[in-house]
Amino acid sequence: MNLVRLIVEREYRARVRSKGWIIATVFGLIAIVGLNFAPTIADTVFGGRQVRIAVLDETAASMNASSGYLERLRADLVETLASGDPRYVVERASADREGMLAQVMSGAVDGFLLITEAGSQQAFKLTTLDTLGLAERSRLTSALSAARTFLDLEKRGIGGAEALALFRPVVLDTEVAGKGPDDGEIPGESWALTYVLVLLFYITLAIYGTYVAMGVIEEKSTRVVEIIISTVRPFQLMIGKVFGLGLAALTQYAVWVGAGFGLLAARGALSGLEVGAVSLRFADIDPWLLVAFAGMFALGFFSFAGLFAAGGSLVSRTEDAGQITGPITMVLVVVLFLAVYSMDNPESTGAVVLSMVPMTSPLIMFVRIAMGDPPAWQIVVSCVVSLTTILVLVWMAAKVFRAGILLYGRRMSVRAVVKAFR
Amino acid sequence: MTAGESGDSTGLTLERVSKSFEGVHAVSELSLRVPEGLIFGFLGPNGAGKTTTMRVILDILRPDTGAVRWRGRPVDDQTRRRFGYLPEERGLYPKMKVLDQLVFFARLYGMPRAEAAAAAERWLERFGIADRRGSRLEELSRGNQQKVQVLVALVHDPDLALLDEPFSGLDPLNSELLEAALRDLRDRGKTVLYSSHRLEQVEDLCEEVAIIARGQLRLSGNLEAIRDSAARRILHVRTASRIPPDITGLPLDPEEPGRDYARFSLREGADPQLVLQVLAARETVEYFAVERPSLQEIFIEATADGAGSSNGDGVEVADGVEAV
């Protein structure tokens, strides 16, 4: 075990001192800082424009005079910019069609909305100088839809507060039979968190899996293997490599998470985050979820690291690494997709089975823990399956590695691989 | 001096070791004994099986048949950690610093950290590369990388150092340093087994040698005994004028003919005194010497195929050789 510790130590140091690791860590930090300020930056750079829309409502004559599209749009489009100014300015057209088109061309207004009526059908036409953004387009569409519904109702004699009452949202109380109210895990929040963690898992493995494969190949390509193997068993070497690199990954996360919380603390926002419509309050995160994530993350990490190590054992030149990491990364992508599918229905037969199948087990079990409430025995089975998978993969990696030691620059034939297990 | 007896409780013993690769015999039925406390020259032409033998000793390759013993017991993980190894295929971690590298390997061989660091510093000092201790290996010249590689094999003060051509790539000055280091090891009771093609140096450095060819042992034993027991004698002759080209009737085979100097090999059983008398009767003999064959000559003879004639008293000949 002492030898394994030595290998772990060397791998860890070699990794965290390497240029690649340092650069990746720094870029990660930049990304975190960037994300922290991203909402503000994005708003200023991309969304900061105020949109002035002139409305020419030719249907107004046939309407009840108390309100029209102009008033409804004004009541609806109340968003503000980061500066506090209104996002949309809706005004009555000050000229006829030709005059308004000229104003659009000259930039006096950003858009000219023409509402016409043929029979009982209204037609809406917006003329702008620049292409309208997707967000603005859909926002205006929904505002117009709501306005038309409201005006239609008013036409039929349902107006004011009575009409507004029709728009109030439904509150769905959910309850799991025998377990009481289900309000503890509001899907919106834990869905987002789970999604982020699943993605984190994928990214980590895509990066560190390649490191593991390269590390194994390095032993052969640098030919240090003859000395190493005359003192250490291949199994010890493999375990040492995988754990050393695992620790390097953890260190990188510690740096990033530390920086992330540091920034939040600096903004005085330690209690929670609001990203778009989803708000995340740290106090609401179930600590059990984080424990489950840590455990399942470790199992998943080492499962895939074992697979990458076994792959790396097959080749002996760094140039051939891609042939190995490519297919394994594909497997990883498939697992990622399966995990994301499972998030929608964590208790489906597919998810339950996959949560106990080698390779997919850790991540999908994590999804089930996060989104549902799997029975304890299934969690235990999942852990046992994963641990066995890890041991078998590392053992296989060691076997293949042992057989391929002296094949400098050559790839192992299928026959040689089969022979390695005899 | 008997080789291959498993009863020996000291030194390294190979017992009828065979290893073949896809039908090609790299080593066949090789038995060898390397006594402790000396420097052992492991010789043979390229492709004779020296590297394979060393890999078998270190269990990097598993022998097809046969066994390797150290101090009478099969070599296992623990005993291997008392060995040092300089592989033919040189290679260390290119991005690791020189000192870190030595300390890492010393610890891998079981040295405590502080001791390993002290030993590494000492060896770097001794080989004149202490100022490069903080450099990455890849930043060093090839010669210095070679030195570091040698130090990795020696830093943990091994009981048995297996060095595959340790002198190749070293300049004369560094060769001297390494020779001195190997002698030091031997003087402290350690054993060194190394392969080399510099036979004059082997003559100088080794007490015992083994010569293998085509995976088979051709001869092994004490170097002096081997040279003594070689039946052949070499005559060196210089005369005042031209050496008569037709010294017919004399039991000589010309080795290196010349005008006034020549080297002959004396036929088996011939009396050098008789040769001297005949020569002296015809020429003024200025120099006349009878010498044992050099290791170089023994090597060439032993590795030439079909040759096995140098087996005399006190020299062990491998089982396979007589059959050739």
Q: Worst-scoring range by mean pLDDT, A80-84, B38-42, B270-274?
A: A80-84
B93–A222 C-beta distance less than 8 A: yes
In the predicted model, what is the mean pLDDT of chain A?
A: 82
Alpha-carbon gap, residue B104 to B94, rounded angstroms: 14
Model pLDDT, residue B307: 40
Q: Give yes or no for residue B320 having a pLDDT over 50.
A: no
Model pLDDT, residue A61: 59
Nearest CB partner across the interface for A230, out of B85, B90, B94:
B85
Q: Worst-scoring range by mean pLDDT, A132-146, A159-173, B305-319?
A: B305-319
Chain A residues with CB inside 8 Å of B153's CB? Answer: 227
How far the first Cα of chain B sits from its last, in Å, is 23
Ranked by mean pLDDT, the top range of A1-5, B98-102, B170-174 is: B98-102
Nearest CB partner across the interface for A230, out of B58, B89, B92:
B58
Cα–chain-centroid distance for residue A409?
39
State the residue for tokens 């789970």.
Answer: A194
In the predicted model, what is the mean pLDDT of chain B?
A: 83
Q: Worst-scoring range by mean pLDDT, B107-116, B253-262, B311-320?
A: B311-320
pLDDT digits (tens, 9 = 90+) for A281-322: 666 667 777 788 888 888 999 999 999 999 999 888 888 888
Cβ-based neighbours of A177, under 8 Å, separated by 6 or more:
none
Model pLDDT, residue B280: 81
pLDDT digits (tens, 9 = 90+) for B302-315: 888 754 433 333 33
Q: Give yes or no for residue A184 having a pLDDT over 60.
A: no
Nearest CB partner across the interface for B87, out of A227, A231, A232:
A227
Mean pLDDT, range B69-90, rounded to an integer? 90
Task: Return phi, psi of residue B216, to 5°.
Answer: -120, 150
Q: Give yes or no for residue B2 having a pLDDT over 60.
A: no
pLDDT digits (tens, 9 = 90+) for A246-264: 889 888 888 887 887 787 7
pLDDT band at B282 (very low <50, low <70, confident <90, very high): confident
Cβ count near B164 (within 10 Å): 23
What letter would DSSP give residue A170? P
Alpha-carbon gap, residue A113 to A69, rounded angstroms: 10
B96–A230 C-beta distance less than 8 A: no
Report the candidate in A341, A391, A388, A390 with the shortest Cα–Cα distance to residue A364: A341
Which tokens sit at B162?
């297996």
Distance from CA of B90 to the nearest CA of A (A): 7
Which percentage of chain B shows pLDDT scores above 70?
Answer: 86
pLDDT band at A179 (very low <50, low <70, confident <90, very high): low
Model pLDDT, residue B248: 57
Alpha-carbon gap, residue A287 to B13, rounded angstroms: 62
Compare A133 and B137 and report the one with higher pLDDT: B137
Alpha-carbon gap, residue A45 to A219, rounded angstroms: 49
Alpha-carbon gap, residue A92 to A178, rounded angstroms: 58
Nearest CB partner across the interface for B91, out of A18, A224, A406:
A224
Cβ-based neighbours of B29, under 8 Å, separated by 6 or more:
B16, B17, B18, B66, B216, B318, B319, B320
Which tokens sit at B133?
């201790």
Compare A113 and A275 and report the one with higher pLDDT: A113
Report the candidate in B268, B203, B259, B207 with the shortest Cα–Cα distance to residue B234: B268
Compare A91 and A187 and report the one with higher pLDDT: A91
- What's the number of CA atoms in the CB half-sphere (13 Å) around residue A105? 6
Alpha-carbon gap, residue A296 to A389, rounded angstroms: 13
DSSP-based three-state secondary structure for A412: coil
Collect all residues from B whose CB is shorter than 8 A from any CB in A: 55, 58-61, 77, 80-81, 83, 85, 87, 89-96, 100, 104-105, 107-109, 152-153
Whether complex ipTM tops 0.90: no
Q: Give yes or no for residue B1 having a pLDDT over 60.
A: no
pLDDT digits (tens, 9 = 90+) for A56-104: 888 765 555 556 888 888 888 888 776 677 888 888 888 888 888 888 8
Distance from CA of B213 to the nearest CA of A (A): 22
Q: Give yes or no for residue B316 having a pLDDT over 70.
A: no
Nearest CB partner across the interface for A3, out of B59, B96, B108:
B108
Q: Worst-scoring range by mean pLDDT, A159-163, A366-370, A385-389?
A: A159-163
Cβ count near A245 (within 10 Å): 26
Whole-number Cα distances in Å, B101 to B104, B154, B238: 5, 13, 56
Alpha-carbon gap, residue A247 to A212, rounded angstroms: 12
Which tokens sit at B130?
């202490």
Q: Worst-scoring range by mean pLDDT, A187-191, A234-238, A392-396, B155-159?
A: A187-191
pLDDT digits (tens, 9 = 90+) for B209-249: 999 988 888 888 888 888 887 767 788 888 777 766 666 56
> Taken in order A89, A91, A95, A96, is the CA torsion positive or negative?
positive
3-state helix, strand, coil in chain A (%, to 5): 65, 10, 25
Model pLDDT, residue A280: 58
Alpha-carbon gap, residue B266 to B291, rounded angstroms: 10
B87–A223 C-beta distance less than 8 A: yes
Q: Worst-scoring range by mean pLDDT, A371-375, A386-390, B58-62?
A: A371-375
Distance from CA of A17 to the nearest CA of B (A): 10
Mean pLDDT, range A4-21, rounded to an integer? 91
Q: Give yes or no for residue A328 having a pLDDT over 90.
A: yes
pLDDT digits (tens, 9 = 90+) for B129-161: 999 999 999 999 988 999 999 999 999 999 999
What letter would DSSP give residue B290? E
Which percentage of chain B shows pLDDT scores above 90?
Answer: 46
Contact A33, A260 (CB under 8 A): no
How far the first Cα of chain A sits from its last, in Å, is 26
Which tokens sit at B180?
């001195």
Model pLDDT, residue B141: 92
Q: How many A×B Cβ pairs under 8 Å?
A: 58
B107–A230 C-beta distance less than 8 A: no
Mean pLDDT, range A379-395, rounded to an integer? 94
Contact A249, A208 (CB under 8 A): yes
> Taken in order B158, B164, B170, B175, is the CA torsion positive or negative?
positive
Model pLDDT, residue A380: 94
Any alpha helices (H) in A231-286, and if so which ranges? 234-266
